[in-house]
Structure 1
């Protein structure tokens, strides 16, 4: 009767009840339900494509104005028979010049490329022409558009970087306008849409922090330079400052003997020794030396790459683990029982155990990430010390074991190619090296935590320790074999005679070697395992270090990173030698020969005379202090200093290419 009564209910009521029970979560009015934890797409007031189009047009206009300004300032240069000359974005081989603008530009460029990886529209202004590309209808050509975007962003920031190389009031004004436009657009976009649906809601904002930092610095630097240029006209003062670093290097080099003699007066103590060790392993600025701009850019890009990769690894994994840990219910006990894993009879205890293990996994991941970033940063600091040591040695003409030297002093095609790719290779090696370190260290910390630490703390699941204990005869035999062989080698097979060790008891030595051969095979298997672990850890830590070859010395030239570094050093030394730049600056600023006399009160030596005075001896009253002798000393000092300069060897006569310091031919 109850079934009949139930069947006699109106059909409309039954349908309403069934639909109401099964479709309670159905959105009303045709609205689409957003998945839990997913951020909705942001719709800014102004389309990003329109903003990028305006920035691209403004950059082109600024570049054309800079070209016209450069043509007006330097009309004597043969730039294609009257065609406008494009300014250089960065003077990479300039000895003196601001480091801050190129580093900020490259930091902005690399951060833009990192944001490009997850961008829906590779080229933002394409969304204006084809809005359907957002919805995935044209997914196939998106990869080709991303490859084209790799050329678009350097072209976009070309004008912003070129405004600093022209060094004119108008260029500073254009740079201020362009930097404010870029910075304003970025701040506007981040303020309207601080959250995004990709990976993590704040990933786009956090990843754009180096971009905002670089653009903010440029928006302040250009106005400051504009005010300075209007306050005092850059004329003779700028020419005087152009050779400051090379002249400082030359003075330090020529006064090196005096500095060494005075350094012996310091007392040897704990703090001086600690400071010396610190300077050997951590880069500290030294008087008279300045790293080339390319190395400074590489260090800046390495730091930016560490931040970007670490941020991606952090926000891509940790929030997911936290969501999984927060969503664990008692149903996980049935899931584990399906795989034959029974942690406890109490379901609530199983939930707590699973949450605890997920928390331990999160701790292992974060610890591995911190360790990877710390080691990569320390390797970067240590590499700067190696770069300085190699450059100083090559500046003074020393021969380093950096691969085969070029047969000709002229720059080779391969060396120029390696020099162009050095900073890009260093950035790519750092990113990949940090990723490999994270994987290796995460696996190691997870194995250590779940197989050793947690079983020891809780006193259960001691599988690894029990397996090691069950093999105690094997480990005891190996330990006794190694210990006895070392003791016998020290007390039985060696005998000290007249202060020199000699081999003795050869019959016992031969017998012990023969009898212990099988055991030594097992010892060798253990040692080779340890060798593989050490090699993997060492290569993983130094994967991003280009000044060190990961291959043996005989195969060092097969390492592409080390080969690129060697050719990079050759180009830097041959094209921007500080001694050559200093002497050329002194010769260019010497207008007329002056008498070689000691300076008097109220008389200031010229720039060229100051450079000549550095080459004179302390005894000014010695023999040969006349004008001719002074001129001969200056010429001899110039020839002696520039004898092994690669930048000038190419312009010598063929008979002087192999000349030695004493004038003899090889």
Structure 2
């Protein structure tokens, strides 16, 4: 009977367990019915099937790659190189230059759009299962090799898009129109045909292709505009036009036409509004007459902005939907576990069945976490964009200072502004460095600002809203004598230093009461150690925040002076400036263009004023009509002196010429008796 009774009890316990399991299952389904707003697709985005567009990426690249290659070969034959074999086909065709990166005029927006397409394509292929479109279903071991090959394939694939604008020919513009239209139509068709994909988030693929589509739309309008302009403008004028000539003349005219202000309009004490406006202007780049930023900087800013968008999109779709899924799938059973660990406060922890209030509390916590993440991401994007705009302002001031020869205003020690192996390498990689630093800076900022926002929300905001005291408040409440001691010690030291240890005279300040100063220094040493600990924590926090915010700025170094060369970003920026100033100095280019101008026949009506001669006339207090030969000689001497004064790096190149007493038109005068 004992055995039978024990068996009956065992069966009863099993029945109770199954009944409890059924109740949990029924509670689960009841909870699911209570959340009708959350769909199954939102909770499980992986159920989205793979979509095969009408024009697959493999078919698109198989068709467009040969077409791009044929267009590139045709353009190369159109512009023949006559340096190797002049007798063979009247010149050997060569590879076209993508853009004149050291010139200031040209299709700058078109070049920036192609670089934006190239960088966005590289961002997309990093997360693709098939980085090389020709090869599908690649294994995990060979996928990295295909990614390396794709890094070389995509620049070659989009090469004709940028090379069509370099030739400045109607046929090249026509080919550019057709090529950009084909790329644009195919990309739009693919995304309209398959807007959703199972990769990371259902709309991530479509959102990540937005910069590519926008840049292709820009090219689709830019090339037709160039083609129409080629028909309205004479072809001989386009061929004879020197690249950058208009900018160099405008820059020189703006420099020479500057007049110092009459009287002193500066005030000793500026108002608060003027200080705020000056501070905002230092972060907002406004165009300036006679000056435009170099093409390489435009490319770096463009790709950096696209990098901010791509990284922010990836951070957003990788975290926020997951938090929403967790919040939608939160059940009372999980809340009971969180209450037992003390992560969620509960009024009746002994009653696990009544957890409705705690469930709402957990959902509120997850919603707060989502808000903190989105707010920190938006703040990081705004700060990074502001720092990039600040880079434009600083770059303009640095370039203008180097144009004037003020090397020490930019660098902490004297530099020779001439090309070198290291400078050329840094100049080539500057735009890529700026883009990479923008990506890393945004990631670092997001981690730091998200942790700070979560700490502030859960330690201050939520306890104040709920009326409960957090652990931080309890620590501060229990340690109030300690904090009061530190505050009093700091206030006493400042008051004593101001009233007892400092003797103020009208012209100088001296130490006084030195014995009392020594006594107070000795007695307050232990307390100052504790104050120093707080100061060290604040130093660590402010250094992390400052360095993370300014991480994307290459015009400043995050290291102290003397070890700035160990900062690769600042090191690349300094050498980049050397190449830009030594090879694209506007005054030097204007001087060279002046020398290359053909001689004009003399006219009895006098001098014909041009944009360059206008600056010379501005420098003359009185207009005295000299002879033609005398004027040519004076103009050559003036241009030479002005060029050497604003570009001292050319002085070393003229040492042999300066040793000749007859150089630059200088004639030996006979010795006086």
1:69 aligns with 2:78: yes
Q: Give 2:205's aligned residue.
A: 204
Residues 301-450 of structure 1: matches in 2 within 5 Å? 301-337=303-339, 339=341, 343-344=345-346, 345=348, 346-400=354-408, 401-402=410-411, 410-450=418-458
* 1:410-449 alpha-carbon deviations (Å, 9 max, x no partner): 4110000000010000000000000000000000000000
Partners in 2 of 1:497 and 1:262 — Cα distance? 38
Q: In the aligned structure 1, how far is the partner of 2:157 from the partner of 2:120?
A: 14
Other structure's SS at 1:261 match: coil
Equivalent residues of 1:386, 1:547 under 8 A apart: yes
Give the equivalent residue in structure 1 for 2:477: 469
Residues 410 and 650 of structure 1 are in contact (CA less than 8 Å); yes or no, is this contact kept in structure 2?
no
- Counterpart CA distance in 2 for 1:111 and 1:90 is 20
Which residue pairs with 2:635 in the alignment? 634
| Residue in structure 2 matched with residue 512 of structure 1 by the alignment | 520
Shift of 1:37: 2.9
Instruction: Name the structure 2 match of 1:250.
Output: 252
3-state SS of 1:553 partner: coil
Task: Quote the offset at 1:42 in angstroms.
Answer: 0.5
2:563 counterpart SS class? helix
Give yes or no for contact 2:131–2:147 (8 Å, CA) kept in 1: yes
- Does residue 531 of the first structure (1) align with residue 532 of the second (2)? no
Partner SS, residue 495 of structure 1:
strand
Given the superposition, is the C-alpha separation of residues 468 and 636 from structure 1 closer, same or farther in structure 2, using an over 3 Å criterion? same
Q: What is the 5 A alignment of 1:287-306?
A: 287-306=289-308
Aligned partners of 1:595 and 1:627 also within 8 Å: no
Q: What is the aligned length?
A: 607
Once the two structures are overlaid, the 10-residue window that deviates more, 156-165 or 235-244, is: 235-244
| Structure 1 contact 596–627 (Cα < 8 Å) conserved | no
Structure 1 regions of 5+ residues with no counterpart?
A: 1-20, 22-32, 658-662
In structure 1, distance between residues paired with 2:297 and 2:622: 41
Provide the rounded CA distance (Å) in 2 between the counterparts of 1:655 and 1:218: 48
Q: Shift of the alpha carbon at 1:263?
A: 9.2
Q: Is the 8 A contact 1:56 1:156 kept in 2?
A: yes
**Residue 247 of structure 1: CA displacement?**
0.5
- Distance in 2 (alpha carbons) for counterparts of 1:264 and 1:98: 42
Shift of 1:529: 1.0
Aligned position for 1:563: 571
Corresponding residue for residue 150 of structure 1: 151
The answer on whether the counterparts of 1:580 and 1:642 sit within 8 Å (CA) in structure 2 is: yes
- 1:551 matched to which residue of 2? 559
Helix, strand or coil for the counterpart of 1:289? coil
Are the structure 2 counterparts of residues 221 and 498 from structure 1 closer, same or farther at C-alpha, using a change threshold of 3 Å?
A: closer
Cα pair 1:590 1:607 within 8 Å, conserved: no
Corresponding residue for residue 224 of structure 2: 223
Alignment partners' CA distance in 1, 2:472 and 2:390 = 38
Larger deviation, residues 648-657 vs 569-578: 648-657
Work out the CA distance in 1 between the residues paired with 2:641 and 2:143: 60
**Contact kept? 2:117, 2:215, Cα under 8 Å:** yes
Deviation string 1:483-538 (CA, Å, 9 cap, x unpaired) is 00100000011112344222111111111111111111111111111111111111
Please say if residues 253 and 614 of structure 2, whose CA atoms lie closer than 8 Å, have aligned partners that are also in contact.
no
- Alpha carbons 2:344, 2:362 under 8 Å: kept: no
Q: Against the structure 1 CA distance between its residues 595 and 494, is the aligned structure 2 distance closer, same or farther, given a 3 Å change threshold?
A: farther
Matches of 2:231 and 2:641, distance apart in 1: 44
* 1:596-635 equivalences in 2 (<5 Å): 604-605=608-609, 609-610=613-614, 612-613=616-617, 616-621=619-624, 625-635=626-636
Q: Secondary structure at the match of 1:502?
A: strand
Please tell me the root mean square deviation across aligned C-alpha atoms, in Å: 2.8
Q: How far off is 1:375 after superposition?
A: 0.8
Match of 1:214 in 2: 215
Taking the aligned partners of 2:563 and 2:477, their CA distance within structure 1 comes to 43
| Structure 1 residue 203: Cα displacement | 0.6
* DSSP 3-state at the match of 1:554: coil
Equivalent residues of 1:596, 1:630 under 8 A apart:
no
- Find the partner of 2:586 among 578, 582, 594: 578
The alignment's TM-score, normalised by the length of structure 1, stands at 0.85
The residue number in structure 1 matching 2:66 is 57
- Of the three residues 119, 123, 129, the one matched with 2:128 is 119
Which sits farther off after the overlay, 229-238 or 111-120?
A: 229-238
Q: CA 1:198–1:385 in 2, change beyond 3 Å: closer, same or farther?
A: same
In 2, distance between residues paired with 1:110 and 1:188? 21
Verify the 8 A CA contact 1:343 1:350 in the aligned structure 2: yes
After superposing the two structures, state which structure 1 stretch, 334-343 or 573-582, moved more: 334-343
**Residue 253 to residue 313, structure 1, CA distance change in 2 (3 Å):** same
- Distance in 1 separating the partners of 2:235 and 2:524: 81
The 3 A distance-change label for structure 1 pair 50 and 639 is: same
Q: Which runs of 5+ in 2 are unaligned?
A: 1-24, 26-39, 349-353, 660-665, 667-673
Aligned twin of 1:9: none
Counterpart CA distance in 2 for 1:492 and 1:43 is 82
- Please tell me whether the aligned partners of residues 252 and 612 of structure 2 are also in contact (alpha carbons under 8 angstroms): no
The answer to whether the 8 Å contact 1:104/1:214 transfers is: yes
Q: Is the 8 A contact 2:201 2:318 kept in 1?
A: yes
Superposed displacement of residue 339, structure 1: 3.1
Q: The residue matched to 2:165 in structure 1 has which SS?
A: helix
